Amino acid sequence: MEQRQVNPMLKTALEFGPLLAFFVAYLWLKDEVFAIGGTDYDGFIVVTAGFIPVFLLCMGALWWLTGHLSRMQVVTAVLIVFFGGLSVWLNDDRFFKMKPTLIYLLFGGALGIGLLRGESWLQYVMEGLVPLEQEGWMILTKRVALFFLGLAIMNEVIWRTMGTEIWVYFKTFGLTAAIFLFFLFQGGLFKRYGTGDDESA
């Protein structure tokens, strides 16, 4: 299906709306306990159960509007359904909390394998959205792979040593801010290795 343009605000809302909804719902229900089918579920598990279909609906809407989902979005959706489903089914929040760790290890490991083969799989994943020379892609890929490893370690430390509420704040704002700041500080690399595709302007 041909990729179509969509309002940037709507696209951002579909991508980040489920996460913000999860955060708000958690703050609202975190101290509640729900008896369902003879089993008690705390607010975190109930919110996780609601997050999964909301996320899938937003990704479905994004695919319908744009005709496209990135490979990272598809993999993330699969892991959210799998680990979120395990948390709900087993009534154990640890599976959902370890999901970011596995996502970052998976992506970071895949990038590392590509580097060992002398390839930048980040370039393949980002599908040419960033115009860089090949050397620039290799450098950026190394940095992103190490960055993902750092995020995985950070997530493990936080969910294993701190309370659920701290982890929810970290997941909603900390990870997002870290990714934003990481790419913000790559400005020098983008400037040095940019291909100058806009020279014809």
Q: Pick the closest to residue 192 from 131, 141, 123 (CA basis).
A: 131
At residue 132, φ and ψ (nearest 5 deg) are -130, 150
Position 147 scores a pLDDT of: 97
Under DSSP, the state recorded for 199 is G
Q: With the C-alpha atoms ordered 162, 164, 170, 176, is the resulting torsion angle positive or negative? A: positive
Output the DSSP codes for 125-181. HHTTSS-B-HHHHHHHHHHHHHHHHHHHHHHHHHHHHS-HHHHHHIIIIIHHHHHHH
- Give the distance from CA 101 to its chain's centroid: 10
In whole angstroms, what is the distance from residue 163 CA to residue 115 CA? 37
H-type alpha helices, the chain: 8-29, 43-66, 71-90, 94-116, 121-126, 134-161, 164-169, 175-184, 187-193
Print pLDDT tens along the chain (201 aa): 456 777 888 888 998 899 999 999 999 999 999 999 889 999 999 999 999 999 999 999 999 998 888 777 888 899 999 999 999 999 999 999 999 999 999 999 999 999 999 999 888 877 556 788 989 999 999 999 999 999 999 999 999 999 999 999 999 999 989 999 999 999 999 899 987 654 443
Gap between the Cα atoms of 83 and 102, Å rounded: 10
pLDDT for position 8: 80
Q: What pLDDT is recorded for position 197?
A: 55
| Cα distance from N-terminal residue to C-terminal residue, the chain | 30
Q: Residues near 1 by Cβ (< 8 Å), separated by ≥ 6?
A: 67, 68
Angle value at C-alpha 191, between 180 and 103, nearest 5 degrees: 35
Q: Supply the pLDDT for residue 59.
A: 93
